[in-house]
Amino acid sequence: METPCILVVDDDREIVKAISINLKNEGYRVAEAYDGMQALEAICSQDIHLILLDIMMPRLDGLSATMKIRQEKNIPIIILSAKSEDSDKILGLSMGADDYVTKPFNPMELMARVKSQLRRYMTLGDVNMKDKNNTVIRTGRLAFDTETRTLTADGSPVRLTATETKIVELLMKNMGRIFPAEEIYERVWGEVAYSVENTVMVHIRRIREKIEINPREPEYLKVVWGIGYKIEKI
Amino acid sequence: MDTKSRKSKAFKFWLCFFLGINIIGLCIIGGLAVLSSFELEMLGRDIKETQRFKHNMAVKFDTLARYITDRVETDNLHSSATAENSRIADMYLAELENEGENLIYFARNPKTNKVITNSAIDLGITTKGPISLPEEYDFYIYFNGEKFIGQKDGKPLDIYTDREYINTALRPYLESPNDYVVRSGDREIYYDIQDCQILLAVNKGIVGNPYGYSSLYDLQRQAGVVRWVLIGGFAVFAIGVGLLILSIIKRRYIKEFEYMLGKILGKIFFEFKVPVLLIGSLIILLTVQHFFQLSLVYTVLLAIASFWLLYIIRIDFRTNGVGVFTNNIISALIRKYKEFENRHPLQKALLLRFYTLAGLEVLLVVLTIIFLLMMVANREGSLFIFSVVFMALGVYLFYRYLRRYTNTVDDLGKIIDQAERIRQGDTSTKLQLSPDRDLFSLAENLNTIQDGITEAVERSIKSERMKVEFITNISHDLKTPLTSIISYVDLLMKEKELPLHVKDYIKILAQKSERLKILIQDLFDLSKVTSGEMEFEKKPIDLGKLIEQTLADLDDRISESQLKFKVNIPNSPVPIISDGNKLYRVFLNLFQNTLKYSLAGTRVYVDLVTDDKKATVTIKNIANYEMNFNEEEIIERFVRGDKARSSEGSGLGLAIAQSFTQSCGGDFDIEIDGDLFKVMLTFDIKSHKIIENDELK
């Protein structure tokens, strides 16, 4: 497989440079652009596998560029923006971006997200093949095979303990539904729940560290504060 | 169009209307007058066929008869009378002479052989045969001694068409003479003209005589004048009708003028209108009553005058309505008094009004009594009317005062309500009082205050919005360079060949840039929540569970610390309606603070206590430093720059916790008692099954 080429677009050249260094360290090829128009030109002239795109840029802003790219190509787009409001994130994702990272970002987290998006993009064909079995429950980068009771993130298996697997299975099978700690405890441990919040939370946190890119800002396994826990359907 | 030219236009068209009506009215009089006079028969006919002409000829015939018969009044048989008679006869003859070419006359008495004529030619009158006249004479009357013949254009002529006769000479010789009566005012005198021949012939063209008076020419001229008078009359009538039609077409302007006129009329007091009205009505009544006794001219003039009177009354009522009655001297005096009152402050005006009323009432009562006494003393019943008038005036004034007083009291109630409404924050409902009310200016001032409040609120909302925008922009501008700092610090940290102390420096850089990141985000959140721009998604949640979850989330750090958490949360759910994510942030901040600032080895108490309506969370800990500030200051600590500021976190934790709690619908209190630091959060309990039924699905 050829080395993936990643396009970094930001009007701040230092940021582009820093990201490029990190990406090159990870072994990727990097293309650079400093506004939306240059980004569109780069996509036409080169074979790009992923785009890191700023929003506030001269000439053509990131959201418009995303829309233009989505008209023709299915390349994964990660938006990098200083706009941290939920509404900004929702807008970016609805425009066709695959992920939204707020500035200032942790370089390691960004690398992890790049890796995740690339893996999904490159192995898309395999994933589709598996889906035909109807035994796989899928949300975003997570897939749980109910037959083998294994969880994969971006196609690679996640090693879970027996209890964790049970919790994941419960939440994956009822994706989107909120489970109070007591219910999780009773269904996973099979015992009467009494003061179990801590116990459940410990397991939830451990699972998060295994499946989430940034466990402190989980995308999938979420706490619904004051109610319970759920796995988000993405 | 400017109002001035519009006004003058309105006046011009109204003038058309006014003149039109008058002209038509006057033409009707004129027409009736002409119709009633006999002159009308002179119109459009040959002058020689009119009765006046025939009478004229008959008179002339009589003159000749009188002359030829030397008739003397029987009762005046003396010489002077004879002389007088002959003088008159000569005078009449001279008149005949004056007609000149217009007239040929001939008279002969065979008994006296007296002949008188102005004709040079022989007319063939000697015999009893037909006469021969020159061709241009188309009209003649002829008595041949036995018989009377009248002819015009060769056709026989009836000389007395109106069956009245003025002379007597001819009567015996007319056919059926008894059909004729003596014309009123004339005396019947007989002339014996048997066997005499008398002829009068008139020329086709009657011309004027420059040397004397021709009665025939005068007649002809009169006929012409009548014609012109009639034509003129019709023309004027047509003009009148034209003006009326024009004014009807342009009635929009007439209406305008009538409105202006009405306004002017409205200014006239009712007392002045009454006499005019009464006299006018009286005249109209009399006119109607005596319609047939009055001369035509008077009738029509009165009709026109009545018309205008009714017209003015109509305009007055249409424009001013009840104002016709209410604009009287009394109300004008009251108005004047109000103007006087308006120059004083309200409290003074109210007192003044009361005193004025009291004074007037006393005066009126005194006047009533005086007139009553005078009536009794003088046995004069008509004085009773004055008493009644004064009494009625007194009652009326009292009624006016009472009504105004009631209105003022009503308005006072409304203003009190309005003030209450404003106090409650309603700035949109305005209190509209009519401008003549006593408390009008007070109400207006309240309205102005409302407007001021609305404006101030709008301005502050706008400035808050601008502040949020400003902070959003600032935080973006801060985040961009921070991204570079964090990225390059990260790259530096990956460098392996660096000296140990440099690595320490980089570590500090990494920590501080991380803190800066949190600080910027917290600042942004705080400014957003305090300006009310942050959105809160309120849902039913279990407060107990939320605290447990938060503590579980912090479990690692709690067990690492040397603190002991004593948590007391009821087993049953504590339902509240709030935003779970935001409340998590509150408790996270509070517990983080506790972890940071508690004295090592002490206990931290977390209690959730509920009653029917409220749920109260209390977090108590012993501070690890001296809290030399009070409850308010600690929240604003960041602003003040206290020594207790930590080296990690933003220092905005408590401020965010307080603002978020309040926006989530809770109360946030802090108590400091020596080293005991106590935070209390209170929420309303919203009993619901929704958590189980809906939200869990």
Mean pLDDT on B323-337: 83
Task: Give the Cβ contact number of residue A146 at 10 Å.
Answer: 14
A67 touches B at CB < 8 Å? no
Cβ–Cβ contact B428 with A under 8 A: no
Looking at residue A17, its pLDDT comes to 92
Of the two residues A129 and A181, the one the predictor is more confident about is A181
Confidence of residue B697 (pLDDT cuts 50, 70, 90): very low
Written as six digits, the tokens of A110 are 């960004």
- DSSP element (H, E) containing A41: helix A36-45
Comparing CA positions, the residue from A51, A53, A6, A52 lying closest to residue A28 is: A6
Nearest CA in chain A to B587: A225
Q: Is A190 on the interface with B (CB under 8 A)?
A: no
CB atoms B696 and A181 under 8 Å: no
In a domain, residue B452? The reply is no
Q: Output the pLDDT for position B178.
A: 63
Q: Test A225 with B580 for CB contact under 8 angstroms.
A: yes
Residue A15 is nearest to which of B484, B555, B691, comparing CB atoms?
Answer: B484
Average pLDDT over residues B573-596: 89
Between A119-133, B395-409, B462-476, B635-649, the lowest mean confidence (pLDDT) is in B635-649
Looking at B326, B356, B374, the residue that finishes a domain is: B326
Q: Chain A contact for B527, CB < 8 A?
A: no
| pLDDT tier for residue B2 given thresholds of 50, 70 and 90 | low
Is the pLDDT at B534 greater than 70, yes or no? yes
Q: If you average pLDDT over every residue of chain B, what do you get?
A: 81
The answer on B87 and B22 residing in a single domain is: no
Contact status of B513 with chain A (Cβ, < 8 Å): yes
Instruction: For residue range B244-269, list pLDDT tens digits in order.
Output: 888 888 888 888 888 888 888 888 88
For position B485, what pLDDT does the model report? 92
Q: What is the CATH number assigned to the segment(s) A127-231?
A: 1.10.10.10
Chain B interface disruption, residue of A101, A177, A184, A225, most B CBs within 10 A: A225
Per the model's pLDDT, the better-predicted residue between B694 and B179 turns out to be B179
- The answer to whether residue A227 neighbours chain B at the CB level (below 8 Å) is yes
- pLDDT of B332 > 70? The answer is yes
pLDDT band at B80 (very low <50, low <70, confident <90, very high): low
- Is B83 a member of any domain? yes
Task: Mark B588-604 as b/e (b = at least 16 C-beta within 10 Å).
Answer: bbbbbbbbebbeeebeb
Instruction: Find the mean pLDDT for residues B547-558.
Output: 89
Query: What residue numbers bound the domain in which B153 lies?
Result: 39-213
Say if the Cβ atoms of B555 and A14 lie within 8 Å.
no
B530 CB within 8 Å of a chain A CB: no
Whether B549 sits inside 8 A of A226 (CB atoms) is yes
Encode B276-340 in three state secondary structure: HHHHHHHHHHHHHHCCCCCCHHHHHHHHHHHHHHHHHHHHHHHHHCCHHHHCCHHHHHHHHHHHH
Fill in the DSSP letter of residue B439.
T
Q: Are B515 and B650 in contact (CB under 8 A)?
A: yes
- Asked if residue B185 and residue B269 are part of one domain, the reply reads no
Residue A129 has pLDDT above 60, yes or no: no
Q: Which residues of chain B are within 8 Å of residue A205 when distances are taken between CB atoms?
A: 553
B521, B580, B697: residue with CB nearest A226: B580
pLDDT of residue B647: 54
> What pLDDT does residue B73 have?
45
Q: Which residue of B has its CA nearest to A87?
A: B535
Q: What is the pLDDT of residue B129?
A: 63
Residue A50: pLDDT over 50: yes
What value does the mean pLDDT take over residues B109-135? 74
Nearest CA in chain B to A56: B476
Per the listing, tokens 């002949």 go with B115
The CATH architecture one would assign to domain A5-122 is: 3-Layer(aba) Sandwich (3.40)
Question: Is A90 an interface residue toward B (CB < 8 Å)?
Answer: no
pLDDT band at residue A19 using 50, 70 and 90 as cut-offs: very high
Considering CB atoms only, which of B485, B488, B583 is closest to A226? B583
pLDDT band (50, 70, 90) for residue B618: very high
Q: Which residues of B touch A25 (CB under 8 A)?
A: 494
What per-residue confidence (pLDDT) applies to A59?
A: 86
Q: Do B546 and A84 touch (CB under 8 A)?
A: no
Q: State how far the Cα of B683 lies from the Cα of B645, in Å rounded to an integer.
A: 29
| pLDDT band, residue B605 (cuts 50/70/90) | very high
Q: Is the pLDDT of residue A181 over 60?
A: yes
Structure confidence at residue B380 (pLDDT)? 77
What are the extents of the domains in chain A? Answer: 5-122, 127-231
Question: Is A22 touching B (CB cutoff 8 A)?
Answer: yes
Pick the range with the lowest mean pLDDT from B346-355, B396-405, B467-476, B543-552: B467-476
Confidence band for B76, pLDDT divided at 50, 70 and 90: very low
User: For the segment B593-604, what is each residue's pLDDT rounded down to a tens digit?
Assistant: 888 888 888 999
Mean pLDDT on B126-145 = 75
Would you state the pLDDT for residue B335? 84
Contact list, A52 vs chain B (CB under 8 Å): none
* B128 plus B183 within the same structural domain: yes
Q: Which of B258, B299, B234 is nearest to B18 (CA)?
A: B258
Residue B181 pLDDT more than 70?
Answer: no
Q: Report the percent of chain B where pLDDT is more than 70.
A: 85
pLDDT surpassing 70 at residue B644? no
Over residues B390-402, the pLDDT tens digits come to 899 899 889 989 9
Q: State residue A80's pLDDT score.
A: 92
CA distance A105 to chain B (A): 7
Question: pLDDT band for position B183 (50/70/90)?
Answer: low
Same domain, B131 and B190: yes
pLDDT score recorded for residue A77: 92
> Peptide bond before A104: cis, by omega within 30 degrees of 0?
yes
Residue B474 lies in a domain: no
> Does A82 touch chain B if contact means CB atoms closer than 8 Å?
yes
Q: Are residues B593 and B568 in the same domain?
A: yes
Selection from B182-186, B202-206, B349-353, B422-426 with the highest mean pLDDT:
B349-353
Q: Does B480 touch chain A (CB under 8 A)?
A: yes
pLDDT tens digits along B31-45: 776 666 555 566 666
The pLDDT value recorded for residue B179 is 62
Burial class (CB in 10 A: 0-12, 13-18, 19+), B158: exposed
Q: Which CATH number does the domain housing residue B588 bear?
A: 3.30.565.10
> What distance in Å separates the CA atoms of residue B283 and residue B276, rounded to the nearest whole number?
11
Phi–psi pair at A140, nearest 5 degrees:
55, -120
Q: Which residues of B331-364 are buried (b: 16+ CB within 10 A; e: fewer)?
A: eeeeeeeeeebeeeeeeebeeebeeebeebbeeb
* The domain boundary residue, chosen from B288, B310, B326: B326
Q: What's the pLDDT at B157?
A: 73
Q: What is the pLDDT of residue B641?
A: 44
pLDDT band for position B77 (50/70/90)? very low
Question: For residue B81, what pLDDT is reported?
Answer: 56
- Point out the residue among B521, B524, B541 whose CB comes nearest to the CB of A226: B541
- Is the CB of B551 inside 8 Å of chain A's CB atoms? yes
Pair (B50, B179) in one structural domain:
yes
Give the phi and the psi of residue A147 in degrees, each rounded to 5: -80, -50
Contact A82 B476 (CB under 8 A): yes
Structure confidence at residue B693 (pLDDT)? 46
Contact in structure between B467 and B475 (CB atoms under 8 Å): no
Mean local confidence (pLDDT), B302-311: 83
Q: pLDDT above 90 covers what percent of chain B?
A: 10
B286-302 tens-digit pLDDT: 777 776 666 666 777 77
Among the partner-chain residues B486, B521, B543, the one whose CB lies closest to the CB of A226 is B543
Q: Is residue B684 part of a domain?
A: yes
List CB contacts (< 8 A) between A198 and chain B: 548, 551-552, 555
Grade residue B308 by pLDDT with cuts at 50, 70 and 90.
confident
Q: Share the mean pLDDT of chain A.
A: 86
State yes or no: pLDDT of B640 exceeds 50: no
Which of B311, B326, B341 is the last residue before a domain boundary? B326
One domain for residues B152 and B86: yes
Count of domains forming chain B: 4
Comparing B183 with B425, the larger pLDDT belongs to B425
Residue B444 lies in a domain: no
Dist. CA B509–CA B106, nearest whole Å: 160
